[in-house]
Amino acid sequence: MLLLVTGCNQSSDQRDFERAAFSLPEGITETSGNGTVINSDPDDWRISPFFQGVVQIDPAYPNPVLSSNQVSLDVIITGTDAVSELIVYAYYGNNNVRPVFEDFRAPVPTGLTSLPLSPLDIARFRENPQGTYRIVLLDGNENVISYGDIRVE
């Protein structure tokens, strides 16, 4: 009975986390070009309940990013066979999402995987890319792993 209740709580926690992931951006974790955190947003780059202890995320850098540059998101996988595929979406509200990066390795190997993201792909409109955007990282089964906000200048 305890396992059933724990499983239900974890599923409920995951659903709550996923609801939060698909909400509009609020602030950013500011980072330098080498990944040093300058100012942290406590809502950015948290790990979902399903992936606690097997995945770590370093905040996206640099953030904010110029539209002519590249932003990196570092994913550290510590659990063997813990993650099947990595998919990054930009979320624009009202169920409007667009994939901006896909890594179809199954499973993704343990260790560091750096995901290169183009600000022009993240932006809702390439011709006017400036703005703050919600980025959502999922696995191949569409479970949210983490999310955070990136500002394109």
Is the CATH code 2.60.40.10 the one for domain 8-152? yes
Q: Locate the domains of the chain by residue range.
A: 8-152
pLDDT tens digits, 29-74 = 999 999 999 999 999 999 999 999 999 999 999 999 999 999 999 9
Residue in this structure with the two tokens 């059933």, named with its chain if needed: 4
Residue 138 CA from chain centroid, whole number: 7
pLDDT tens digits, 127-142 = 999 999 999 999 998 9
pTM of the complete model: 0.89
